[in-house]
Amino acid sequence: MRKTASMTGPIRVVVSGTGSEVPTRVMANAAFESMIDTSDEWIRTRTGIRERRFIEPGDTSATLGVRASRKAIESAGISPDEIDLIICATITPAMMSPTNACIIQAELGCRPVPAFDLAAACTGFVYALSVADAMMRSGTVRHALVVGAEVLSKALDFTDRNTCILFGDGAGAVVLSRVDDANAEASNRGLSCFQLHSDGRRGDLIQMPSSVTDQTPNAEGQLHPGQQYLWMHGREVFKFAVQRLTDILRQAMAECEARGVTLDWVVPHQVNQRIIDSALDHTGFPGERVMVNLDRYGNTSAASVPIALDELLRTGRASTGQTLLLVAFGGGLTWGSALLGL
């Protein structure tokens, strides 16, 4: 790793650049009507999703991640040679080895820096931010690239209307930069207040197999759906997501009040409009300050938060000095959040 100057002052880890990439192939709700018993209205009223993107042959989560990363690096105004760390959050890697992060490192032409994947399902990007933040505060990492990239279309059962309509493909990336500032402690800028959780006892509510998943049939000679495709217990997952989003939003609102700052925006995992609306009803947080784009992209798992964050910043809706809550929840079960001061 490149040696850097001694950094002994107060530290902030800020988002210095963002980028995202979604496939060009649009899968509108109507496309599912010939596959399963559903309709555009049925999907919209139950999820808020109108369309999602699926990759074309030849693309992978790694190729999407590369393109999102290039945009983030350009947005940060640095070169790939200045990246000191790469973490890719994904549960749909192009290969188990080499990892997406290593593929991204090679394609970008970065130096031989630490590069690894992290698997925490839909919460993966928030987990990856936390790991990068800790490494930047304790080591010599000046700029880190954190990516969320998924191709859930590769793991769907297109005869199961409870799951196949929900997911899409995409990638989002951020460049984190370490800033040494004597006034850092008085500033709200940067990442803070990470909250990371898991409950593996309820892991059977959301499952997705891999190439090494046990394929043992049951007594009737059938495989559990979770051994072949992404599978979830929709009703229980819905209740879990509403409770966790509500809890995290309440905690963030209280934390911001204690700091004397306003929580300006919530950037949630894009999973279901009814889940978001329910949490807003419980907390009173205004819906016009929640970044939602799931109507166009569906649930892109670890990619959903960075895609939404990139859109929020590039469209100018969020501005310098504002405070954002990044929050996600998903398989594992996992959930987590972070505050981000711009």
Q: What residues act catalytically? A: 122, 269, 299
Tokens of 112: 């031989």
Maximal CA-CA distance, the chain: 67
The Cα–Cα gap between 287 and 292 comes to 9
The Cα–Cα gap between 108 and 114 comes to 14
Cα radius of gyration rounded to whole Å, the chain: 20
The Cα–Cα gap between 242 and 268 comes to 12
- The helix/strand/coil state of 162 is coil
The Cα–Cα gap between 167 and 300 comes to 6
Task: Tell me the Ramachandran region of residue 184: left when phi exceeds 0, alpha when psi lies from -120 to 50, beta otherwise.
Answer: alpha
Give 3-state DSSP helix, strand, coil % of the chain, rounded to 5: 40, 25, 35
- 190 phi and psi, to 5 degrees? 105, 180
Asked whether 124 and 91 are in contact (CB, 8 A), the reply is: yes
Asked whether 105 and 113 are in contact (CB, 8 A), the reply is: yes
Residue with the two structure tokens 């970044």: 291
Tokens of 64: 């999407």
Residue with the two structure tokens 């018993």: 37
